[in-house]
Structure 1
Amino acid sequence: MSNFLGSHAINMDAKGRLAIPTKVREELAHLCGGRIVLTANADEEKCLLLYPEPEWEVLRPKIEALPNMNKAAKRLQRLILGNAAPMELDASGRILVPQPLRKHANLEKRLMLVGLGKKYELWSEESWNAYLDDSAGDEEMPPEMEALSL
């Protein structure tokens, strides 16, 4: 069971390579031998999703099982499965982000790796900061959040 938390500022080079922070790398090495899947986020936020391989293998059949005659389900399948890039951290803990995924998330040099429990999100630093600055007060709060005490 993964427990990815926190935000990490990282850099990507001109070839699309980025080094996973040491703490994250160690957890990924322990959890999945450094084997991960990187894919597009299907939400309106333009970021990437980074799954350890075991988490991906739980999620993938659920996405595949969606009714492909439904336009929304087919779109989700195309975004998530069609952009999935299995990869393994190299000896230095780096990965190469494929160009289509870099373009999808508007990734350039400065990035943010954000832990969400079972996965990470990979954002451009600019998009991440804009997301944090955006007031989400316009959205209706789901009942589960109304009962949450922080």
Structure 2
Amino acid sequence: MNSLIGTYECKVDVKGRLMLPVNIKKQLLPIIENGFVLRRSVFQECLELYPMEEWQLLMQKMNKLNRFKKKNNDFIRRFSAGAKMVEVDANGRLLIPKDLTVFAGISKEVVVSSSINIIEIWDKDKYEQAISDAAGDFADLAEEVMGQQDDEDGIS
């Protein structure tokens, strides 16, 4: 799957249904019928939407963990806690389960943001806060994370 692109403001209806933005839907079109997994983010109070093929790749990596190590078992349990299979309906809507809505603090206004191969779903206020909190540190973070890339591909 190619990288997803875009950040969009959307609304969730009273039943917890999110109308996917047209541009995101177009990018997902080749794989939309395979379904998705929606889960809690590890680092933020947001949700992560994995196309099924991306989820399967991640599960293959996690399946290599030695389950006879308590730390690995605890990680697997926490990582998969609350994960749900979800589908996009014929109208382009995604139903966000109530427990995940509560976890992410989603009320009505949300931000749907691409994150390379997955989509993050945020409460709009929490997204704006997370972006503004990180704004001052982004230059340092970019240098630390990407500045050491001196391989042949040469990210610049």
- TM above 0.5, yes or no, is yes
Counterparts of 1:72-87 in structure 2, within 5 Å, are: 73-87=72-86
Deviations 1:99-120 (A, max 9, x none): 1111111111010011011111
Letter aligned with residue 107 of structure 1: I
Deviations 1:12-38 (A, max 9, x none): 011111111112112222124251111
Report % sequence identity. Answer: 26
Unaligned runs of 5+ in 1: none
State the aligned residue count.
148
Q: Cα–Cα, structure 1 residues 108 and 74, in superposed 2: closer, same or farther, change >3 Å?
A: farther
User: What TM-score, normalized by structure 2, do the two folds share?
Assistant: 0.82
Letter aligned with residue 145 of structure 1: M
Structure 1 position 3, deviation (Å)? 1.6
The SS at the match of 2:38 is: strand
Unaligned runs of 5+ in 2: 150-154
The alignment's C-alpha RMSD in Å is 2.4
User: What TM-score, normalized by structure 1, do the two folds share?
Assistant: 0.85
Q: Are the aligned partners of 1:41 and 1:79 in contact in 2 as well (CA < 8 Å)? A: no
> Equivalents in 1 of 2:59, 2:21: separation in Å?
26
Structure 1 position 143, deviation (Å)? 4.4
Of the two, which has the highest radius of gyration? Answer: 2
**1:26 matched residue in structure 2:** 26
